[in-house]
Chains A and B, each alone.
Chain A
């Protein structure tokens, strides 16, 4: 069985180590926070916060306290606030150990496209380009194929890029792949997913 959204998030949480400062993107990456367990992880929200807490209880929402997805959140006893220039200073400056992000396409050389579909969707890159350029490790969590069954794990990205050669690891519903010399390397398969099934849905070059 391929992993579902929560299982992908749980697998991504295994990437995180004690003491890490981490930025989680919108969508499945947000769910990763539910699976960090006892690990001492500090979550960064790029709108100006380290030490992001869970959603507030009903009636305790604070309009001055939101995450980068503009959702109401809470603070922790370790929280620090700062302005946007400082926030991206720590991102660009390599102080954030890892970012876990969603993607539209990833290529075998680590190119990432996750901000724009020409002629269709104009929303903007937000902080994604800064994050992939600056953080220590970029982990992509996404479905292996799109809704039409076409691979999102490609030889070359077709959409406008967010960054070039930036992705380190890809976690999909079918398994885990690393960006290595010459292509992608299968690290792990989701339970009951065969290597052939993963290969059939992968456009990128797979190397041993």
Chain B
């Protein structure tokens, strides 16, 4: 089966429809599927629900789809860096479901692993727990959280082979593996597709079984907060 496509638009062909649910990898602007997001903007698909830890910034990441009003709802843990997001949320144009970060990651992982729900201590006694089933195990209270199954997953990796085996780089791995796992279809964008046999089978971070379509492309990889230290002079 051919998984490699020429570009993001072709890789998404036939997969997009209004009102769909998309899981996206990335943390802040690190390891986000920037080429696929740009192609979704281009496609004009509307009323999207995104499960994504963050919503990008105004002009990068999921932020570009907020500007074009393509997003109906976000499921996120932190949205602090996005003025347009705030504006749409406060005016009621955008729905927002806050999930604790670990709960969101586990919801994706579980959904991809055939686990429809799990109990967690996270959020017990807070507004996150309101309306959720509570259950005691060994004297401690837990709440029931649901696994996520998305219509489509979009992720970004460092390297791949043509079978979709993925290798990530440093902290750009973040939400990408769990996001990839929870989609009915997963499209990955990578910096380099290498010939079969070049990736160490022991070093594959996400096996190709989770990846259905694949593109190679140039990534801007924007830095959100550039922090440096001074060189000590000897």
Contact = CB atoms under 8 A, between A and B. Distances in A.
Nearest to B206: A83
A127 B122 CA distance: 10
A123 B80 contact: yes
Contacts of B169: 64
Contact of A71 (B77, B78, B127, B225): B225
Interface in A27-52: 45-49
A34 B225 CA distance: 20
Contacts of A72: 223, 225-228
B106 to A, nearest CB: 6
A62 B170 CA distance: 9
A124 B34 CA distance: 23
Given A82-B173, A85-B109, A130-B103, A125 B98 contact: yes
A73 B27 CA distance: 15
Given A124-B98, A160-B127, A92 B178 contact: no
Interface residues of B, number: 59
A45 to B, nearest CB: 7
B27 A47 contact: yes
Contacts of A45: 171
A76 to B, nearest CB: 12
Interface in B136-184: 158, 168-178
A83 B170 contact: no
A126 interface: yes
B31 A64 contact: yes
B132 to A, nearest CB: 13
Nearest to A88: B102
B78 A126 contact: yes
Contact of B53 (A56, A84, A123): A84
Interface in B89-131: 89-90, 96, 98, 100-106, 108-109, 120-128
Given A47-B174, A81-B170, A88-B106, A64 B124 contact: no
Interface stretch (A10-18, A139-147, A161-169, A193-201): A161-169
Contact of B89 (A60, A81, A122): A122
Contact of B121 (A63, A81, A92): A92
Given A55-B228, A58-B228, A122-B79, A85 B105 contact: yes
A164 B225 contact: no
Interface string B62-100: 000000000000001111110000100110000010101
B224 A84 contact: no
Interface residues of A, number: 52
A20 interface: no
Contacts of B224: 66, 70
Contacts of B230: 57-58
B102 A91 contact: yes
A96 to B, nearest CB: 11
A133 interface: yes
B86 to A, nearest CB: 7
B89 to A, nearest CB: 7
Pick the 9 closest A-B CB pairs, nearest first: A88-B102, A164-B125, A130-B102, A123-B80, A124-B78, A84-B105, A63-B221, A129-B100, A127-B101
Interface of B: 27-31, 53, 76-81, 86, 89-90, 96, 98, 100-106, 108-109, 120-128, 158, 168-178, 205, 221-231
Interface of A: 45-49, 54-58, 60-67, 69-73, 75, 81-85, 87-89, 91-92, 111, 122-130, 133-134, 160-165
14 contacts: A47-B174, A55-B229, A56-B227, A61-B223, A61-B226, A63-B30, A65-B170, A66-B224, A72-B223, A83-B205, A122-B89, A122-B90, A133-B123, A160-B127
